[in-house]
Amino acid sequence: METLTVIDIGPLFGGSFAALRGVDDAVGDAIARHGGFVVSGFPGADRVDALGATMLGFFDLGEDEKRAVASQSTWPDGPAVYRGWKSSLEVGAWAYNEMYDIGPAQPHAGPAVTGMHHFAEVNSWPAVEPCAGWRAAMEAYYGLMLDVGMAVMRAAGRAAGFDDAHLVAGFHTGNHTLRLLNYPPRPDGHITADERAQPDGPRIAAARHTDVSGASLLWQRQPGLQAQAPDGTWRDIPVMDGTVSVHLGTVLQLMTGGRIPATPHRVIDHGVARQSIGFFVEPGLATRLAPLDDPVDDVRASYGWHLQERFHSMRGYTDIVPAPD
């Protein structure tokens, strides 16, 4: 199977205008042909793998330590709703995995809607670090990926004919999400929706989906991640030192009227444990999910409203997150 294009995005952080335009063109071409791409050469690329290995030490914590920072969707007495540890390690779940989320150190509030405060939640940190330097690694990786995410969204915007500053303006107050993911070997009897639909297809650890983000930056310790091109072709995401893959999200698709399409992706189950890290560049809660030239100002079109509607309908959240009023 083919792999995604690897693009050196170093010129986005300093270089000639011609080099920057070259990256923009490469990004635009990769989106049009493959749906997503892999980036290298960004500031801090030489630290990504070591930071990732340290951060994933979270999953070495015991059950009690994880529950102390759990989302209430996983553990009713947990301190968090939107952030913290979440587990779907049960037969029949959409994806057999567990995850741990953090956001910015100082979250930005959203529209004055009952229940919206959940999405401006402070982080739930373990009382004792899983390993020395763990929290510092999380915070360093967060800042590094935010810079990369904003740079690649600007490049994608320029390639699609948008003013880059206008395109990313709504993301400066975003409560971006850093997510650690752990996929233990699946038990017998766990079948995803994709496997039921295509019983002769590959084993799927996480079903085909697009992310509710501007862009998602994914780092994987083991292979398995695939992206789907506009023509339906699936391509493997290579495991390479100092790289992350870029998957455009539904937020950017809505804001650009479809000119920057979201990247469908999935995780193939190779029968072994797998770990990965996602960083999701999110707009501010009040940012409208509508084409940039649409003058309508309606709270029901905001990212926060969309998040609240989505979480209210999700298994485990219906009684925790109210429908937006």
pLDDT (average), residues 88-97 = 73
pLDDT (average), residues 195-209 = 80
> How would DSSP label each residue in 97-135?
-EEEEE--SSPPP--S-TTGGGGGPPP---SS-SSTTHH
User: What was the pLDDT predicted at 180?
Assistant: 98
Cα–Cα distance measured from residue 181 to residue 97, given in angstroms and rounded to the nearest whole number: 7
Check whether 322 has a pLDDT greater than 80: yes
Question: What mean pLDDT, rounded, does the chain reach?
Answer: 93
Please report which confidence band the pLDDT of residue 1 belongs to, taking 50, 70 and 90 as the band edges: low
User: What was the pLDDT predicted at 122?
Assistant: 97
Please report which confidence band the pLDDT of residue 200 belongs to, taking 50, 70 and 90 as the band edges: confident
User: What was the pLDDT predicted at 2?
Assistant: 84
- What are the tens digits of pLDDT across the range 58-87? 999 999 999 999 999 999 999 999 999 999
Check whether 204 has a pLDDT greater than 90: no
Name the CATH code of domain 6-312 (choices 3.40.50.12140, 2.60.40.420, 3.40.50.10260, 2.60.120.330): 2.60.120.330
Query: What are residue 322's DSSP bridge partners?
Result: none
Check whether 182 has a pLDDT greater than 80: yes
> How would DSSP label each residue in 228-272?
E-TTS-EEE----TT-EEEEE-HHHHHHTTTSS----EEEE--SS
User: What was the pLDDT predicted at 92?
Assistant: 61
Please report which confidence band the pLDDT of residue 297 belongs to, taking 50, 70 and 90 as the band edges: confident
173 contacts 282 by C-beta, under 8 angstroms: no
DSSP-derived letter for residue 99 is: E
Check whether 131 has a pLDDT greater than 90: yes
Cα–Cα distance measured from residue 72 to residue 249, given in angstroms and rounded to the nearest whole number: 26
pLDDT (average), residues 98-105 = 97
Check whether 221 has a pLDDT greater than 90: yes
Segments making up each domain of the chain, as ranges: 6-312
Check whether 179 has a pLDDT greater than 90: yes
User: What was the pLDDT predicted at 228?
Assistant: 96
Please report which confidence band the pLDDT of residue 302 belongs to, taking 50, 70 and 90 as the band edges: very high
Q: Which residue has the tokens 């399409």?
A: 261
DSSP-derived letter for residue 306 is: H
- What are the tens digits of pLDDT across the range 118-130? 999 999 999 999 9
